[in-house]
Structure 1
Amino acid sequence: MNDTAVRVLVPTGMIGAGFTPETVARGLELGADVIAVDGGSTDSGPYYLGSGTPKTSAAAVARDMRILLRAAAQAGIPLIVGSCGTSGADSGVDWLAGITDGILAEEDLRLTVATIHSEQEPAYLKERLGQNAIHPLPPHGPLDAATIDGCARIVGMMGHEPIEAALRAGADVVLAGRATDTAVAAAFPLMKGLPAGPVWHASKIVECGGQCTTNPRSGGVLATIDHDGFTIEPLDPTAACTPASVAAHMLYETADPFRMREPAGTLDVTHATYEALSDRIVRVTDSVFEPAEQHTIKLEGARISGYETMSFTGIRDPHILANIEHWAALLDKVLTDRVHQTLGLSAGPDGDYEFDIRLYGHNAILADLDPATGPAREVGVLLLVHAADQATATAVAKIANPLMLHLPTVDMAYLPSLAFATSPAETERGAVYEFVLNHVVDTDDPTALFRTEIRKAGNRA
């Protein structure tokens, strides 16, 4: 490896999303020193943290891991996966570790594997809360002990330090719990002594693989980081990086396109420059990193907010479609009245249940902000009923059944026939989770909140 540069191969934005073996082989040919890939996200909501289950299929993850483990063994370079199992919960780390162990045995690959668990004990967090060491991030307010106790799971979002420690301890493969997307790519080059500004900026750009290229579907990228900056190159020869495509990724999932906070400090790209070295390679310089006075670890927690039952019906009747918002308001009123008459239950945030009517094909996504005018040709009506228990949610949805099948507008002289998408019409979704933690905890030791186990090659059960 060139002592003045580190090449980070990022094959995809998330393990299990898929990539071609050829792009990984291309990365090895270009001299990759480490393979880094994200394994999770909060994008798909709180269910995966609350339930401790992954959103990706084991078969898809195993397919990707087999390619990457072979590549890491072939090249003699580390493989790092962060936020395992979608949420980074301990069960997700163990799930991916089991998949990894199976592949290593099948392929006869003798690689040392480190697992880093990131779930947090409520008792410890309440102790830190009492020491005024937990602080809210906007828009949340102060945390209380009851919220901590109410969480099904809480994870701490690690920076690069626990991953670097595992690499220094001899790990060939690092399977980390919840981690910042950037920490996965930053750990190895920081360990090699490269400056934090270029490292963190490069790691941010490559976090989603090919998303910083002109063809996000083409696969991953290779970042070459040196003491003065970094270059980004697509692994697919038919794709390209441009100054605009690279710079634009600083807009992705950031409140400020020029500054991004990590546990150890803040990346500042205000004065960064982006230069096209060719028609497909971009060089970036003048990125800086400001160390924080206080190292912090972000906490993510999910709790059960209730239980949900869903129904979905389709409307093609032109008269209803021309008056769809009036029809939805009528459905809201009639359902509320009938539930009260039949079950004696009241609706609303302080009542026995809540429900939501979403008009897909009309304004389900943008609601009142939707600029579209005129009636749609067809609309799908999604009813979500939320209650403290499943039986209540389903009972309300069943009362809605005849309304979602035949409810006319007030001026219709006939009963329309609408179309349920499924039979039975009601689908019980089970427990529904909500995120309730958006806080950071102060720590003087960046590795203290995380638990690392290293299993030497050949010493697996």
Structure 2
Amino acid sequence: MTNADSVSILVPSGMLGAGFPEETVTRGIALGADVIAVDGGSTDSGPYYLGASKPKTTAAAVARDLRILLRAAAGAGIPLIVGSCGTSGTDDGVDWVAGIVSDLLAEEGLSMKVARIYSEQRAADLKEPLEAGRIHPLPPLGDLDVATLEECTHIVAMMGHEPIAEALAAGAQVVLAGRATDTANAAAYALLRGMPAGPSWHAAKIVECGGQCTTNPRAGGVFATVDRTGFTIEPLDENAACTPISVAAHMLYETANPFEMREPDGTLDVRDAVYTALDERRVRVEGSRFHHAEQHTIKLEGARISGYETMSFSAIRDPLILKDIEGWASLMDVVFTQRVEQTLGLTRDDYDYDLRLYGYNAVLGDLDPATEPPREVGVMLLVRAADQDLATAVAKVANPLMLHLPAQDMDYLPSLAFPGSPAEVERGAAYEFVLNHAVDSLTPTAMFRTEMEEKHDA
């Protein structure tokens, strides 16, 4: 594959399954897209999706987006790249998306060569690099031990662009990647075609969340063209705009340092980047650099079961309770823990629970600046225990308190409100992230497995 003078990347949305207007993809193809890239996953919604290896998106939404993208890619003769398939990038997630793609290709009569890149890791295979000192903690976690590896239900390695570029070079027209950095799927084709690393990675960072770098984040995707000295970006919706501020601001998103971003292969440095408005809708960016690292590293993500949860929710409008909602919550803590011990013989060592006051301080906690009594409060009780039956039993002890507990100075039983019946909702297994570590990789692709399918018959 020869080098190009420029590479244009069409990113339809921030996540596969989130939806986008079909006409924006049509416009991106008309602008001369060389590749379509979209992220298929995230850790934003917590550890459940990795721990359980389940997608957060519904199959119908993913299929709707993929149908449009497969048609567009096939029609234009350009590749389609999906990163972090199935939300967490597990092998199940890759196969789930691949199954949807296979069905769509058959339905649409399209013939495209599909590559699956698997990123899931076995705990047994990670023991050797761990014992060799090649696995290092990332904040806020500490040193890793074998027991933690073995407790993980699923472990994924976060690939850079190299496995994706390798699949493209081998002729893949659709690349379905396991866990990948948010930027890798957007940068891979540009780097494969010889574009400089600085502009390629910077453009990939800006487009990773689709329209979030525009004046109208709901409008859909973006179109970026990377060349030898920088990149140009514009929204795919003609009623939206990219401005120097909206583009530059995206370096503040999900980064510890607004001037640097670490990738497996090195570090993007945008300290000297200059953002220039070409017109009312387009921005030109130059001056981005990339510092290649001496040691290529791969981030590990892993989750394990932390218990089983049961949730209950009640609503309070009684003004006598709401005038001192913190006092009521403190009383609830005392009475609830006493009754659990009296009825079930359990102490706080046997279970855990969280009581959150929505409408008061559930989001900000002690940082909430509000000082006036709230008008109404939703009380969420979340109980966690070693098994589901125990969690539900503890939550049921709270049922009469969530419905009738009076404040200290009340001489009557109030009636609070459950939104549904039964009041207790079993949430099943709860998970926690326990791996946030980097592996000194032997090669950029050694930890990943690629399977190339032949073209589907049209």
Quickly name the TM-score band, shorter chain normalised: over 0.9
Given the alignment of the two structures, is residue 25 of structure 1 paired with residue 39 of structure 2, yes or no? no
Partner of 1:306 in structure 2? 307
1:422 Cα shift?
A: 1.5
- AA aligned opposite 2:185: V
C-alpha deviation, 1:458, in angstroms: 3.0
1:418 counterpart = 2:416: yes
Between the aligned partners of 1:140 and 1:339, the Cα distance in structure 2 is: 33
Q: How many aligned residue pairs are there? A: 457
The residue number in structure 1 matching 2:231 is 230
Task: For 2:129, give the aligned amino acid.
Answer: R
Matched, 1:272 2:273: yes
State the distance in 2 between where 1:445 and 1:214 align. 40
Supply the AA of the counterpart residue of 1:394.
T
Q: Which residue of 2 is the match for residue 451 of structure 1?
A: 449
Instruction: Indicate the residue corresponding to 1:75 in structure 2.
Output: 76
Render the CA deviation track for 1:237-258: whole Å, top value 9, x for unaligned: 1110000000000000000000
What secondary structure is seen at the aligned counterpart in 2 of 1:181?
coil
Counterpart-to-counterpart distance in 1, 2:127 and 2:390: 34
Cα contact 2:309–2:388 (8 A) shared by 1: yes
Match of 1:321 in 2: 322
Q: Which residue of 1 aligns with 2:171?
A: 170
Q: CA deviation at 1:362?
A: 0.3
**What secondary structure is seen at the aligned counterpart in 2 of 1:423?**
coil
Partners in 1 of 2:456 and 2:23 — Cα distance?
A: 29
| Partner residue, 2:14 | 13
2:392 is aligned to: 394
1:65 maps to what in 2?
66
Q: Does 1:142 align with 2:143?
A: yes
* Cα deviations by residue, 1:261-303 (Å, 9 ceiling, x for unpaired): 0000000001100000001100000000000110000000000
Indicate the SS of the match to 1:198: helix
Q: Which residue of 2 aligns with 1:370?
A: 368
Counterpart residue number, 2:331:
330
* Local SS of the residue matching 2:28: helix
Give me the CA root mean square deviation.
Answer: 1.0
Unaligned runs of 5+ in 2: none
Gaps of 5+ in 1: none
Question: CA separation in 2, counterparts of 1:162 and 1:206?
Answer: 20
Aligned-residue offset at 1:127: 1.1
The CA distance in 2 between the partners of 1:410 and 1:267, in whole Å, is 58
Which letter does structure 2 place at the counterpart of 1:114? A
Give the whole-Å Cα distance in 1 for the aligned partners of 2:391 and 2:238: 53
CA contact (8 A) 2:267 2:290 kept: yes
Tell me the secondary structure at the aligned position of residue 302 of structure 2.
strand
Secondary structure of 2:343's counterpart equals helix
Partner of 2:182: 181
TM-score, normalising length from structure 2? Answer: 0.99
Q: How does 1:248-263 map to 2 (within 5 A)?
A: 248-263=249-264
| 1:151-206 CA-partner distances (Å, limit 9, x unpaired) | 00000000000000000111000000000010000000000001000000000000
Structure 2 residue aligned with 1:381: 379
Separation of aligned partners in 2, 1:458 and 1:223: 30
**2:359 pairs with 361, 365, 368, which one?**
361
The letter for the 2-side match of 1:254 is: T
Indicate the SS of the match to 1:419. Answer: coil
TM-score (norm 1): 0.98
Residue 55 of structure 1 is matched in structure 2 by 56
CA contact (8 A) 2:110 2:456 kept: no
Deviation at 1:410, TM superposition (A): 1.3
Aligned to 1:152: 153
Aligned to 2:42: 41
Q: Which amino acid aligns with 2:64?
A: R
Q: Distance in 2 between matches of 1:227 and 1:329?
A: 62
Letter in 1 for 2:455: A
Runs of 4+ in 1 over 4 A off after TM superposition: none
1:125 corresponds to 2:123: no
Identical counterparts, % of pairs: 71
What is the identity, as a one-letter code, of the residue corresponding to 2:89? G
SS of residue matched to 2:414? coil
Q: State the 1:2 CA deviation.
A: 9.4
CA distance in 1, matches of 2:320, 2:400: 19
Contact preservation (8 Å) 2:106, 2:456: no
Question: What is the DSSP-based 3-state SS (H/G/I as helix, E as strand, rest coil) of the residue aligned with 1:433?
Answer: strand
1:459 Cα shift?
6.8
**SS of the residue 1:246 aligns to:** helix
